[in-house]
Amino acid sequence: MGNTPTPHNAAKAGDIAKTVLMPGDPLRAKFIAETYLEDAVCFNTVRNMFGFTGTYKGKSVSVMGAGMGMPSMGIYSYELFNFYDVDNIIRIGSAGAIQEDVNLMDVVIGMGACTDSNYVDQYNLPGTFAPIGSYELLEKAVAAARAQGTSIKVGNVLSSDVFYSADDTVNARWASMGVMAVEMESAALYMNAAKAGKKALSILTISDQLCRHEALSAEDRQFGFKKMMEIALELA
């Protein structure tokens, strides 16, 4: 706790709950706090990466933006796990479907997260590391989705460093290995959790169907992912 506050997080020891929901968009964090949390208190505005702590169904829960990409998720989740003693981080974000049977607004849970990033190189491992989510959180998320009546898809996702790829065949090649969707943060989150001995899970809503060139609006992405948010809140 001696490392807090940090250059990126103004929270003091005790300001952040043991479970943190992390959307990429800080405005989505603000929306969740205002919509779902009771007695929410803002603990961070540094770089406009809003963070809030409140209660949901009597349980303390925090929500904080993570930004875009693995470097940003890597910084914020590392500090939460290692400096603020957070036990669980649930990423709630958007993803692009690369399978024909995954549709706009579908909820996808990343059991594993492939990546084209070299984020893992820092650990100097003697082989290839497979980033996976917490089975305990996954099991609870599936149960929460069933209770909600929401159909979900569970499987592998891709965390890519590249949003606009110069290679227009790359998605098809990942899809040929059964990868369901592409996003930009989960692998770093899962690696940080593994290294810290903590738990993490990514619950994603499909904002783009890349096979059919379909996409949601920016407003839908900010305010329209309530099923995913409600599933994640049940894990607190």
Active site residues: 208
Alpha carbon distance 208, 220 (integer Å):
11
Q: What angle do CA 103, 161, 82 make, to 5 degrees?
A: 100
**Nearest Cα to Cα of residue 128 among 87, 187, 183:** 187
Scored b (16 or more CB within 10 A) or e, 142-175 reads eebbeeeeeebbbebbbbbbeeeeeeeebbeebb
Alpha carbon distance 180, 194 (integer Å):
23
How many other C-beta atoms can be found within 10 angstroms of the C-beta atom of residue 104? 15
Q: Can you tell me whether residue 162 is helix, strand or coil?
A: coil
